[in-house]
């Protein structure tokens, strides 16, 4: 049996990493970075709401990746630290399966001294993201059970007013009842827009997704580039073309993974880690036009 490869030493052991967050994400990320890198998390509570909110009260002008990078920069500017970290997400219907809700979780790590930016992202199927419109006498009990209320908070606003006013932090039956009454009174048709609260500190499912991403990032930052030795070697793209297992025609699913270095931009093609060799015919444009 070949000897096991030694685990690389952490390049960030003993260092402090600035995490920019208003919503308690240190609860998800401190442990992965402490155990995986030997690094400590220092929270910078910058006003990240100014970059956009899930409720739409503040429009997010940039895409999720640029917003996430800007969050990390805000924390670095405020604290003077040289290592930064930030998280961002977007939620909506799956592009190929519209009835399925998914989340796109992003984690950005910035190393000013090495001039590195490392991005770890994940399409998260495990989400409770949902919304519904309640009529004047509709009972939301079934919907609330589906979104795991009260363990997961919800938000409410008058249905006819996209800008609000929003009632947030609804995590008890009493708070929700009062918010529904206020929204119905404020809406000309007595309707209420009810939505899951996707802020991390009000959504345990999302907090677990951020933790998984933190573990992946810590592992990545311990993985050196095979060419230059820079930390952060990992998945940067995929190559489509996985053949249909029925007719062998190429599909849009990933045939291989592209791994790369954030420092020297070296790239290598790698096999899929899940070992999948063929696509379901349902994903094939020939078998399922």
Concatenate the DSSP letters of all residues of the chain into one string: -PPPPPPPPPTTTT-EEEEE-SS-THHHHHHHHHHHH--EEEEE---GGGG--TTSSS---S-HHHHHHHHHHHHHHHH--SEEEEEEEEEEE-SS-TTSEEEEEEEEEEETTTTEEEEEEEEE------EEEE-TT---HHHHHHTTTTTS-EEEEETT-TT---EEEE-SHHHHHHHHHHHHHHSTT--EEEEE--SGGG-HHHHHHHHHHHHHHHHHHTSB-TTT--B--EEEEEEE-PBBTTT--B-SSEEEEEEE-TTT--EEEEE-TT---SB-GGG-TTT--
Q: What is the pLDDT of residue 178?
A: 98
Domain ranges of the chain: 10-128+203-222, 131-197, 233-289
2, pLDDT greater than 50: no
Query: Looking at residues 2-26, what average pLDDT do you find?
Result: 84
Q: What is the pLDDT of residue 177?
A: 97
Query: Looking at residues 176-196, what average pLDDT do you find?
Result: 97
C-alpha–C-alpha distance, residues 148 and 167, integer Å: 18
Residue found under tokens 């093609």: 269
pLDDT in tens, 226-279: 999 999 999 999 999 999 999 999 999 999 999 999 999 999 999 999 999 999
Query: Looking at residues 30-54, what average pLDDT do you find?
Result: 91
pLDDT in tens, 155-176: 999 999 887 899 999 999 999 9
Q: What is the pLDDT of residue 6?
A: 55
Q: What is the pLDDT of residue 49?
A: 79
pLDDT band at 3 (very low <50, low <70, confident <90, very high): very low
Q: What is the pLDDT of residue 232?
A: 97
Q: What is the pLDDT of residue 59?
A: 80
Q: Looking at the domain that runs over 10-128+203-222, which CATH code has it been given?
A: 3.40.50.10150
Q: What is the pLDDT of residue 7?
A: 56
257-263 own/partner pairs: CB under 8 Å, 24+ apart? 259/233, 259/234, 259/235, 260/233, 260/234, 260/236, 261/225, 261/227, 261/228, 261/230, 261/232, 261/233, 262/116, 262/117, 262/118, 262/230, 262/232, 263/114, 263/115, 263/116, 263/225, 263/228, 263/230, 263/232
Query: Looking at residues 207-224, what average pLDDT do you find?
Result: 97
Q: What architecture is the 131-197 domain classified under in CATH? A: 2-Layer Sandwich (3.30)
pTM of the full predicted structure?
Answer: 0.89
Q: What is the dihedral of CA 190, 195, 199, 202, to 10 degrees?
A: 80
C-alpha–C-alpha distance, residues 167 and 189, integer Å: 18
Which is more confident, 114 or 289? Answer: 114
Give all strands of the β-sheet with 254-260 in edge-to-edge order.
234-240, 254-260, 267-271
Q: What is the pLDDT of residue 50?
A: 81
pLDDT in tens, 50-89: 887 777 777 877 888 999 999 999 999 999 999 999 999 9
96, pLDDT greater than 70: no
């Amino acid at each position: 049996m070949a000897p096991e490869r030694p685990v690389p030493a952490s390049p960030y052991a003993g260092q402090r990493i600035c995490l920019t967050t208003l919503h308690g994400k240190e609860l998800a990320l401190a442990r992965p970075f402490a155990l995986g890198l030997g690094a400590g998390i220092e929270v910078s509570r910058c006003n990240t709401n100014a970059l956009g909110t899930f409720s739409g009260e503040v429009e997010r002008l940039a895409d999720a990746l640029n917003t996430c990078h800007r969050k990390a920069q805000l924390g670095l500017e405020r604290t003077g630290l040289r290592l930064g970290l930030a998280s961002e997400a977007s939620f909506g219907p799956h592009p190929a399966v519209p009835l399925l809700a998914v989340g796109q979780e992003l984690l950005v790590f910035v190393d000013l001294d090495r001039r590195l930016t490392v991005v770890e992202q994940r399409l998260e199927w495990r989400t409770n993201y949902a919304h519904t419109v309640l009529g004047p006498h509709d009972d939301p009990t079934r919907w609330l059970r589906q979104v795991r209320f009260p363990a997961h908070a919800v938000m409410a606003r008058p249905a006819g007013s996209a800008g609000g006013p929003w009632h947030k932090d609804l995590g008890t039956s009493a708070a929700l009842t009062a918010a529904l009454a206020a929204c119905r009174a404020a809406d000309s048709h007595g309707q209420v827009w009810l939505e899951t609260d996707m802020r991390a500190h009000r959504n345990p499912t999302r907090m677990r997704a951020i933790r998984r991403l933190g573990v992946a990032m810590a592992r990545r930052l311990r993985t050196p580039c095979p060419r230059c030795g820079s930390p952060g070697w990992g998945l940067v793209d995929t190559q489509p073309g996985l053949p249909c297992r029925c007719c062998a025609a190429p599909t849009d699913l990933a045939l291989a993974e592209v791994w790369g270095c954030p420092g020297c931009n070296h790239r290598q093609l790698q096999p899929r880690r899940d070992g999948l060799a063929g696509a379901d015919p349902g994903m094939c444009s020939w078998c399922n036009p």
